[in-house]
Amino acid sequence: MLLLLWTLLAESGGSIKLTNPIMGSDMPSPAGFGGIWITASKAILALSSVGAVVMLIWAGFTWLTAGGEKEKISSAQQTLVWVLLGLLVIIGAYAFLNTLIGTLVGQLGFTS
């Protein structure tokens, strides 16, 4: 294992560039509180999107297994409406944060 690492290091000219798998290579590097804020906000948006998709699947499952019961169908429909509204809020927050981050990247001194 060390021999492989040594060979890679020798072939790269003494330095290996690692990209952040979460933020990617096109995102600014986290520097201080601003970078932590960017990373945290993107993570929260990603987790809330996953939660919305799970709830969307749950509402669909509830509707399919309602068996004609009006109360269960109504509950599933309400869940679908709220999940879709939540997804619209998530998409709006993502667009807002991307716009905000795009304008502040140069002002906060992040490097890409």
d(CA 2, CA 51): 42
d(CA 92, CA 66): 32
Give tens-digit pLDDT for 81-99: 999 999 999 889 888 887 8
- Domain ranges in the chain are 27-108
**Cβ atoms of 62 and 54 closer than 8 Å:** no
Q: What is the pTM of this model?
A: 0.59
Which pLDDT belongs to residue 45?
Answer: 87
Tell me, what DSSP letter sits at residue 23? T
| Rounded-to-10 torsion of CA 43, 48, 91, 100 | -30
Structure tokens at 30: 């986290």
d(CA 45, CA 12): 36
**How many Å is the Cα radius of gyration of the chain?**
22
Give tens-digit pLDDT for 25-73: 555 555 556 667 777 888 888 899 899 999 999 999 999 999 989 999 9
Burial class of 95 by CB neighbour count within 10 A (0 to 12, 13 to 18, 19+): exposed
- Average pLDDT taken over every residue of the chain: 77
